[in-house]
Chains A and B, each alone.
Chain A
């Protein structure tokens, strides 16, 4: 029925016409539709081209900073003391890791991560980072682990092996406090440093020479524009601005002398500073016990760090630079200079020493070290020279009482105490030079005559660092020409530290007085074979076989106050309440090449304990003389 209707109603001509019309209309419509597409493409490709092109470039191009190799540090004989070790590190870019737990689990099976590594990694991950900054998972990959990671690279998106240089200190603990060390850049550091200059750097100098010369050692960051694919893998390098390596430094330090100093301290807590009196160059700077700075780079676990920090012997404490101690009798030569200059005494004046000193009208006895409870002390008739070589407290109590605080404070400051005069010693402490004004301010009390007495024998509030005492020794060795202690001897960088402004000579003290004081200090070491109580204090310990002329002064700094009427009994005191042993010296007297300060904490008597250390250090410097001569000459020119 339908078919018949259709047949009856069909009109082929009309259908063709109608179809043609429709086809034409649709042809126009689809032409318009294609035009719409063309317009859309025109919009994207021509009108918005710049925007999309920029995003395309941003997609593929990444600028990667390249860390500059850190400058190396050498000792005066060109021996490497801080260098760079090539390492391959396992790094993770968290943003590119699809499943961190799965990735870590896979690495676990591949290279066996330790719990500490995981913990340290999570810790670093939690810290703030730059976006896409790789985070260290293992600092040093051995070749087998590297191969395992490399083979499974496709399963480890976001995991990279990074070739880099790591700070290394070949001498380990030996030079730790002198050269210092680098530490991993912390969040706080990133706030301080130029984020661009340090964009690839992971370690920066934190202590010592490494810290002071950070700018010179660091170098300039390089850049590499790389093309990466959608998974962040580098497909090729587009261009590269190489980094500029940090400057190398050569220090005055002598590795062998340092080793001799550490050996001489023989495991006791103490410090040795050796200077070249002509330049102020630091030949040795030892602090014992020490620590291995490499541990901080390879990653110290929390326990290890705590152990170092809580060690009673304080291995992290830089004693020669930051330790401030009463100088004890080593201060006496300076008081002698002040007293001579102020006219309070002369080389002829003498007094009888009963073993103690009493201020007029006071009953309190200020004791000489020779004093005994049975009143059997005293050193007989004492003049200034003997007061130095026998280290008479009684004589200096008298000088102190008559000088008053100001001349003593003034001579102390002239010799560099109470302030840091070093050129490049990081974190050096100033010590303390007391005077009336200081006491009123600090303790709210006036200056008593008793304070002057203590001041005159280097006790009381006066504090010095071993570095400062070595500077005092060097200044005496130079007959009043002060020096500024410094590490830097040479560098390929033009650093201002290479030529520090010279200090004016201390010509307020006469050359005759310098000569007298030095002669008395020589007697400390060399005056021997006399009757009892007439030998130099150090002669018995170091002076009997010494092959060169050395001027020295011992010091024995009280740590606790001994009550009136009681004797200092070393056996009865706790080890840590025993006196600190000091010795300062320079040699050869006629043309000094080395000035030394030695401190042995709670060591006891300065002459007995510290003087042999000083002798060992000076021996090490002067006795194997022949091969060193040219170096010394070169230093002298700078």
Chain B
């Protein structure tokens, strides 16, 4: 399933206007408009919720790791630059590992979250760039993991 950040990036960009920021906030946050009328209501937490709802068999470990990863995605959106976020795909494989991955013009970037105790990052380049592979644990550096996920 593909997850897009386009709406989140656009929304963040629109409300940054000094002149029309409040106007956009009003339109996009209007309680009177139902969600299907409003293309921009999604935020990072809703994307997380979608993944949690889609894969009911996720373990407590996988959910905890997802919270941490999405917290860093949100940190990138609010503090660094929303344009850093890029669309990605997610899937649960036969070993019940949750995969977050994206294919860029430079190669394939993966985050693999094992059901029990391990998170792996890999970047498989399709050019002369260096291949990257590392593991982190539940208390590891999720900020760097998130940057790496969007860096190629």
Q: Do A and B come from one complex?
A: no
